[in-house]
Amino acid sequence: MKSLILRVTARVLLPLMSLFSLFVLLRGHNDPGGGFIGGLIVGAAFSLYLFACGLQAARAALAVDPRAFIVFGLALATAAGIFAFFSGAPFLTGLWAPVPLPVLGKTGTPAVFDMGVYFVVIGVTLSIVFGLAEE
């Protein structure tokens, strides 16, 4: 269904929603939000773009195969857990950097873990959505 209004708005909404999802991801630790929700928002954004401009355009906008997101997310989440080994702590201990970064605030392994979850959710939703849209 190629509606002109939808096409134009989707082209604007996609980057906006992606940025919003990043915002939701980063605020998750202290306010409602987090990795799962951020990932789902990106999934919704790309689904909108899919409806508006077609599958090829949506795949090109994502640029990377969604399954790569899954692998990257899992690797990031596991790395966040293994990082604790280097300080002699058990797997998945939360270690926090002593100095908060300017924009991102306090960083630590749970934040990296949340990012891993974020990428996995993006990868999972978009693999399924793009897979179903293949015709």
Partner 1 sequence: MPALIIAGFAVAVLAPFACCRWGLRARYLFVLYPLAVTAYLAGSYAGIVSGAVRRTSLMWMPALGVRFSFLLDGLSLLFALLVSAIGALIVVYAGAYLKGHPHHGRFYAFLLMFMSSMLGLVLADNAITMFVFWELTGVSSYLLIGFEHERESSRYAALQALLVTGFGGLAMLAGLILIATVTGSYELSVILERGDALRAHPLYLPILLLILTGAFSKSALFPFHFWLPNAMEAPTPVSAYLHSATMVKAGIYLLARFSPALAETASWHYLVTLGGVATMVAGSVLAFAQRDLKRILAYSTVSALGTLALLLGLNTEEATKAAVVFLLVHSMYKGAMFMVAGTLAHETGTRDLEALGGLRRLMPVTAVTALVAALSMAGLPPLLGFISKELIYDAKLQAPQAQQYITTLGVMANAVIVAVAGMLAVAPFYGRRRETPKPPHEAPWAMLLGPAFLAVMGVVIGMMPGIFAAPVVSAAVAALHPVTVGVQIVLWKGFNLVLGLSMLTVVMGIAAYAGRAHLLRAFAGLRRMAHVGPLQAYDGVLAGMLALARTQTRLVQSGYLRVYVATVVLFLAATAIATVTLGGTGPGALRITRVHVAEVSLGAVMVLAAWTAARAESMLAAIAALGIVGYGVALMFVMFSAPDLAMTQFAVETLTIVLFILILPRLPRLRRLSRPAVRVRDMLAAGAAGALLAIAVLFAARQGPPSRLARYFADNSLPLAHGRNIVNVILVDFRALDTLGEITVISVAAVGIVALLRLRVETEKDKGAP
Binding site for partner 1 (CB under 8 A): 24, 28-37, 40-41, 43-44, 47, 51, 67, 70, 73-74, 77-78, 81, 85, 88-92, 94, 96, 106, 108, 110-111, 113-114, 116-117, 120-121, 123-125, 127-129, 131-135
CB of 101 to partner 1, least distance (A): 14
The answer to whether 24 touches 105, Cβ cutoff 8 Å, is no
CB 73 within 8 A of CB 120: yes
The residue behind tokens 């789902």 is: 40
> Least distance in Å: CB of 94 to partner 1?
5
Tokens of 71: 């692998």
Residue given tokens 């773009």 in the structure block = 49
